Amino acid sequence: MSKAIVVGYLAKVSAANVNASHTEGNVVVAKKVTLPDGSTVPYISGQAIRRMLRERLADLGYTLSEPFSQVSGQEVTPPVRPWEFIDEDLFGYLDPSGGRRRTSPVRVSAAIGLFPFQGDRDLGTRSFERFGQAMAAGGNMFETELYANLFKGTILVELDRVGVFQPLETGGEKERTLSSLDRRKRIQDLLQALNLLWGGGRTARMLADLSPKFLAYTRLRVKHPIFLEALEARYEDGRYLLNLAPLVNVLERFRDYREHTIFGLDPGIFGNEEEIFNTLREYGEVLRVRDALAKAREDVEGLWSESS
């Protein structure tokens, strides 16, 4: 019986500050985490990734629950109709007034940069001369930290909880379950949302494409984010090189629990494409990312049948 789907992915950002931290003076600071050696790498919070996935699901035609939430002061009460709203189903909710809560069956890691932050900044200005004043009046200047990096992220989907709602989650008297068709479609559309991923702050001038350039998809008989620490890369001779040893290690370690594994690899991103293809094809099909996600959606089609 399949318990989880796990997708590990790498997204390439050429110049952006996707998810900012606080502002220091006139500098918009990127969110960063400090490594044991004292260097820092940028990251995009899991909350931001979840927001982007919600927005992409809306792009796919879903109505989200938030327009129907009740707001009173700092308290936001959701509709608590997860059978109706895909975001309440996949990402959970908390009803502060009624005590109803649903823990998200879709677990999302922060997207972590694989390379240290180099201290780059973008300078922005707004001159008062444009508003009819003399040049000597000056203007406003601001800076934004930005980076070029590969970001690794992981998504874990608890299959037994998607489309299944417990009384404590809804306030009902008994469990409520969507049809297998609807449960499968919600997971398939989540995968499609990942294929379309973009978003974050400052997109008006620092638009970033966060769709995967490499991904590893697997359906498991256990719930474990196996790719979370398995995606590493290095930079040599002007190209990214995917380090395969950590990935092969987890594929071997979880061999007995993996039911179906697929890899997606877009051309022109990694300098060792041939090595990636030849190494990973032992563990699953290696396709372009678009085709790999299409295969993954086909794999979901078999869920909750007699063979799953």
Give the model's pLDDT for residue 84.
97
Give the model's pLDDT for residue 201.
86
Q: What angle do CA 221, 225, 231 make, to 5 degrees?
A: 125
- Determine the average pLDDT of the residues in 122-129: 80
- Residue-wise pLDDT for 228-241, tens only, equals 999 999 999 999 99
Residue predicted with more confidence, 22 or 302: 302
Instruction: State the residue for tokens 């990636």.
Output: 276
Q: What pTM does this model have?
A: 0.93
- Residue-wise pLDDT for 74-115, tens only, equals 788 899 999 999 999 999 999 987 789 999 999 999 999 999
Give the model's pLDDT for residue 253.
98
Per-domain residue ranges of the chain: 4-62+105-132+147-302
- Determine the average pLDDT of the residues in 48-70: 94
- Residue-wise pLDDT for 189-223, tens only, equals 999 999 999 999 889 999 999 999 999 999 999 99
pLDDT, the chain, mean = 94
Give residue 145's pLDDT band: very low, low, confident or very high (50, 70, 90). very high
Give the model's pLDDT for residue 126.
74
Q: Is the pLDDT of residue 151 over 80?
A: yes
Give residue 70's pLDDT band: very low, low, confident or very high (50, 70, 90). confident
- Residue-wise pLDDT for 240-292, tens only, equals 999 999 999 999 999 999 999 999 999 999 999 999 999 999 999 999 999 99
Give the model's pLDDT for residue 42.
97
Give residue 43's pLDDT band: very low, low, confident or very high (50, 70, 90). very high
- Determine the average pLDDT of the residues in 62-82: 89
- Residue-wise pLDDT for 2-22, tens only, equals 999 999 999 999 999 999 988
DSSP for the chain, please give it. ---EEEEEEEEEEEEE--SEEEEETTEEEEPEEE-TTS-EEEEE-HHHHHHHHHHHHHHTTPPPSGGG-EEETTEEE----TTT-HHHHHH-EE-TTT--EE--SEEEPPEEESS-----EEEEEEEGGGGT--GGG-EEEEEEE-EEEEEEEEEEEETTTTTEE-HHHHS-SS-EE--HHHHHHHHHHHHHHHHT-B--S-TTTS--B-S-SEEEEEEESS---TTTTT-EEEEETTEEEEE-HHHHHHHHHTTTTEEEEEEEE-TTSBTTHHHHHHHHTTTSEEE-HHHHHHHHHHHHHTTTSTT-
Give the model's pLDDT for residue 99.
81
- Determine the average pLDDT of the residues in 155-161: 98
Q: Is the pLDDT of residue 68 over 60?
A: yes
- Determine the average pLDDT of the residues in 54-60: 97
Lowest mean pLDDT among 86-90, 121-125, 182-186, 239-243: 121-125
